[in-house]
Amino acid sequence: MFLFKVEIYRCLNQPVITSNLHRVKVIYSHYIDFIEIILRQKQKEETMTNHKTGTREEWLEARRKLLKEEKELTRRSDELAKKRQELPWVKVDKEYQFETDEGSASLADLFQGRSQLIVYHFMFGPDYKAGCPSCSAIADGFNGSVVHLANHDVMLWAVSRAPLEKLQAYKQRMGWTFPWASSYGSDFNFDFAVSFTEEQQRQGNIEYNYRKGHASSNKDEVDPNVEAPKAAPKITAGTGTDWATYAREAPGMSAFVLEDGAIHHTYSTYERGLDDLWGMYKWLDRAPLGRNETGFWLRRHDEYHSE
């Protein structure tokens, strides 16, 4: 902490030029990050200290009971997966156009010879300067899965409303390789309930996650129908938008099948329905302190500091 103060003092006593002011801002930002890390560590230590302890035998007994419940959950999850596959298919008659690295493409083109298509609705609106931090964390997780899915008859694409050049620049920054299409100028996002108009927002006439005008139970989740949460400044700062603009986009995932030349919509999920696709959280759920979230802590993978 003393070194932070010394460095800031040294910068302030140099000629007032843009580079020095920028350096102060960077140092101050790192200082705030440092304080947040210390507070989180203190909370972890207190939580760990107060946790129940026991013998190895007691642990094994409790673990075996938990294993039984985990197996029940796994079986139930398998049953739910089967029910997803049994949902009726809805034919997609509308023609959608996307912009991709290879040029203009139809929805059918996105299948690229496969019979199944999964779309991750990545929050990156036309007015965003960068992609949503949460969607970016999800993309970090599925980036490596695309090649495996493609070799198992499934194409996975991210689709956003931002113009293609914005998506390409951000994709390069993040080091991702998954295919990403722009639906700019298309109804695709609106038809699959992940983008909303200003008029819908003003009137509260928004249907998201199969409910109309609902309020999210998690105030850090994106809900276009509710006022900005406390974490809004942190969330929107990285995307260069205000909350209203940010919340006109929402996350989701949709699945399609191509059979006999016809495309059918088979499944979509939103909000916490995406948890199972968010690989990082499955690791956290098995960590000693779980998700341990006291606010919006996520950042893009190139924004974490080492202090």
Is 265 in contact with 256 (CB distance < 8 Å)? Answer: yes
Q: Are residues 113 and 198 in the same domain?
A: yes
* 248 closest CA partner among 192, 202, 195: 195
Range of the domain at 44: 2-51
Handedness of CA 215, 221, 226, 227 (dihedral sign): positive
Residue 288 lies in a domain: no
Quick one: what percent of the chain has pLDDT higher than 70?
78
What CATH number does residue 216 fall under? 3.40.30.10
Is 11 in contact with 27 (CB distance < 8 Å)? Answer: yes
Residue 270 lies in a domain: yes
* 281 closest CA partner among 134, 173, 123: 134
Q: Are residues 128 and 272 in the same domain?
A: yes
Segment 47-100, tens digit of pLDDT:
556 888 999 999 999 999 999 999 999 999 999 999 999 999 999 999 999 999
Q: Does pLDDT of 261 surpass 80?
A: yes
Q: What angle do CA 171, 174, 176 make, to 5 degrees?
A: 60
Count of domains observed in the chain = 3
Q: Are residues 72 and 47 in the same domain?
A: no
Segment 101-156, tens digit of pLDDT:
999 999 999 999 999 999 999 999 999 999 999 999 999 999 999 999 999 999 99
Q: Are residues 127 and 186 in the same domain?
A: yes
Q: Are residues 144 and 230 in the same domain?
A: yes
Q: Are residues 81 and 165 in the same domain?
A: no
DSSP state of 276: G
Residue 172 lies in a domain: yes
Query: Do you know the residue count of the chain?
Result: 307
Q: Are residues 253 and 165 in the same domain?
A: yes
Residue 59 lies in a domain: yes
Residue 298 lies in a domain: no
Q: Are residues 79 and 123 in the same domain?
A: no
Q: Are residues 207 and 262 in the same domain?
A: yes
